[in-house]
């Protein structure tokens, strides 16, 4: 019996290894395909009218709560309103609100699709319209988020009002994007701020020296390489590296000053973050309101369109991403189980 269980366990381990290997291969292939599709711009703009969504929610609730007579009265009033509109010789066009989403990672890797969405909106939006960005990002690489914020400034250049809604987090590079808006709204417990620059770099030079391993760097230019992970970092190199970080911080603050001149930037550029309700007092945001509430309110008088740029994926790509997602969820469940039993892995 023990021998059988041993062989079965070995077989199971091999099977799991093979399955994991196959999933990893498919995932890599899918990621490569996605990268190729991005380069080839094989995507399309998706537009969803949100007014219809709100109307469906309202109608579903009405039919569940109101009786037939009440529904008839509402329908009669609606027809009367529509008839009155038709009598008008020329009804003015409603304000259009274009809704975008940006869920940023460390590399702001969705910036290419985001740029396409902005370009699409700019082909239709006019000064009387509005763009609403639902933003979520803890920040990341300076150059990536600098590009993302530059994309948003295109609305400023065209004098198209931009409202940024932060329901969860817009910190560091996320706030760099948010500050380009004419108006920033935040949920009460959303996290914003973190106006600063940080760089962390381990150095293994002493370990290399311990085992008599030389690491040579050859450069042309005194500060072509300031600090490294393996070389011996000099005081001049460290000083120059800090100077570069401080220069980046100054550029960050200048961007905020340009877009939010009423804000005391020096008082909030300490690298700290605050909750939404605190941010109103400090001038980091203009009001406390969730994106859902804001969009529902404007839907009463405006035509709202959710705009996104979707990459076309083949069946193989979708299968690869589905298997990758299943593997990720399985690993997450295992880690959660172990942590709940007191076996913390991090």
Q: What pLDDT, in 10s, does the model give residues 302-321?
A: 999 999 998 876 666 666 65
* Distance separating alpha carbons of residues 312 and 318, to the nearest angstrom: 10
Asked if residue 166 lies in contact with residue 184, where contact means CB atoms within 8 angstroms, the answer is yes
* Distance separating alpha carbons of residues 115 and 97, to the nearest angstrom: 18
Sequence spans of domains, the chain: 1-42+317-346, 43-85+92-194+272-311, 196-262
State the helix-helix crossing angle for 111-122 and 142-157, rounded to 10 degrees.
0
pLDDT bucket at 341, cuts 50 / 70 / 90: very low
Please count the CA atoms within 13 angstroms of the CA of 1 that sit on its side-chain side.
0
Q: Stretch 16-38: mean pLDDT, rounded?
A: 59
**pLDDT at residue 193 above 60?**
yes
pLDDT bucket at 339, cuts 50 / 70 / 90: very low
pLDDT bucket at 271, cuts 50 / 70 / 90: very high
Q: What is the per-residue pLDDT for 199?
A: 87
Query: Which residues on adjacent β-strands are paired with residue 162?
Result: 131
Q: Stretch 321-335: mean pLDDT, rounded?
A: 61
**pLDDT at residue 337 above 80?**
no
Q: What is the pLDDT of residues 119-175, one digit of tens each?
A: 999 999 999 999 999 999 999 999 999 999 999 999 999 999 999 999 999 999 999
**pLDDT at residue 285 above 80?**
yes
* Distance separating alpha carbons of residues 180 and 321, to the nearest angstrom: 34
Least confident of 8-12, 227-231, 329-333: 8-12
* Distance separating alpha carbons of residues 154 and 151, to the nearest angstrom: 6
pLDDT bucket at 294, cuts 50 / 70 / 90: very high
| The two three-digit tokens of residue 4, written as one number | 């059988």
Q: Stretch 264-292: mean pLDDT, rounded?
A: 96
Write down the CATH number for the domain with range 43-85+92-194+272-311: 3.90.226.10
Pairing outcome for strands 95-103 and 43-49: unpaired
Radius of gyration for the chain, computed over Cα atoms and rounded to the nearest angstrom: 27
Q: What is the per-residue pLDDT for 173?
A: 96
Top-ranked range on mean pLDDT: pick from 22-36, 82-96, 255-269, 300-314 = 255-269
DSSP 301: T
Enzyme catalytic residues: 172, 224
Query: Which residues on adjacent β-strands are paired with residue 25?
Result: none
Other beta carbons within 10 angstroms of residue 154's beta carbon come to 16
pLDDT bucket at 324, cuts 50 / 70 / 90: low
Pairing outcome for strands 43-49 and 162-171: unpaired
Name which of 318, 279, 310, 37 is nearest 164 in CA terms: 279
Q: What is the per-residue pLDDT for 150?
A: 97
pLDDT bucket at 338, cuts 50 / 70 / 90: very low
Q: Which segments of 140-191 does DSSP mark as H helices, in order?
A: 142-157, 173-178
Asked if residue 296 lies in contact with residue 54, where contact means CB atoms within 8 angstroms, the answer is yes
Q: What is the pLDDT of residues 107-120, one digit of tens each?
A: 999 999 999 999 99
Percent of the chain with pLDDT over 70: 76
């Amino acid at each position: 019996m023990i021998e059988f269980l041993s062989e079965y366990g070995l077989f199971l381990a091999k099977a799991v290894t093979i399955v994991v290997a196959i999933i990893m291969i498919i995932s890599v292939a899918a990621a490569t395909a996605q990268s190729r599709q991005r380069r080839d711009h094989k995507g399309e703009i998706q537009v969803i009218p949100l007014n219809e969504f709100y109307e469906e929610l309202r109608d579903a609730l009405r039919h569940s709560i109101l009786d037939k007579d009440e529904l008839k009265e509402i329908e009669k009033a609606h027809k009367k309103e529509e008839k009155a509109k038709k009598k008008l010789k020329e009804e003015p066009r409603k304000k259009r609100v274009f809704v975008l989403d940006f869920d940023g990672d460390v590399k702001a890797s969705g910036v290419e699709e985001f740029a396409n969405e902005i370009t699409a909106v700019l082909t239709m939006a006019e000064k009387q319209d509005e763009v609403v960005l639902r933003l979520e990002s803890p920040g990341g690489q300076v150059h990536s988020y600098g590009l993302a914020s530059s994309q948003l400034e295109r609305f400023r250049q065209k004098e198209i009002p931009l409202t940024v809604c932060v329901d969860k987090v817009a910190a560091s590079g996320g706030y760099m994007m948010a500050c380009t808006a004419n108006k920033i709204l935040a949920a009460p417990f959303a996290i914003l701020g973190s106006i600063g620059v940080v760089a962390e770099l381990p150095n293994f030079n002493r370990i290399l020296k311990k085992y008599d391993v030389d690491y040579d760097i050859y450069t042309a230019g005194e500060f072509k390489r300031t600090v490294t992970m393996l070389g011996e970092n000099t005081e001049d190199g460290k000083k120059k590296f800090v100077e570069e970080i401080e220069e980046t911080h100054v550029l960050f603050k200048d961007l905020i000053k340009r877009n939010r001149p009423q804000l005391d930037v020096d008082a909030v550029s300490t690298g700290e973050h605050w909750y939404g309700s605190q941010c109103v007092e400090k001038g980091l945001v203009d009001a406390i309101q969730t994106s859902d509430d804001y969009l529902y309110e404007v839907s009463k008088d405006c035509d709202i369109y959710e705009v996104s740029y979707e990459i076309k994926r083949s069946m193989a790509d979708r299968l690869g991403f589905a298997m990758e997602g299943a593997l990720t969820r399985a690993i997450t469940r295992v880690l959660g189980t172990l942590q709940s039993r007191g076996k913390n892995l991090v």
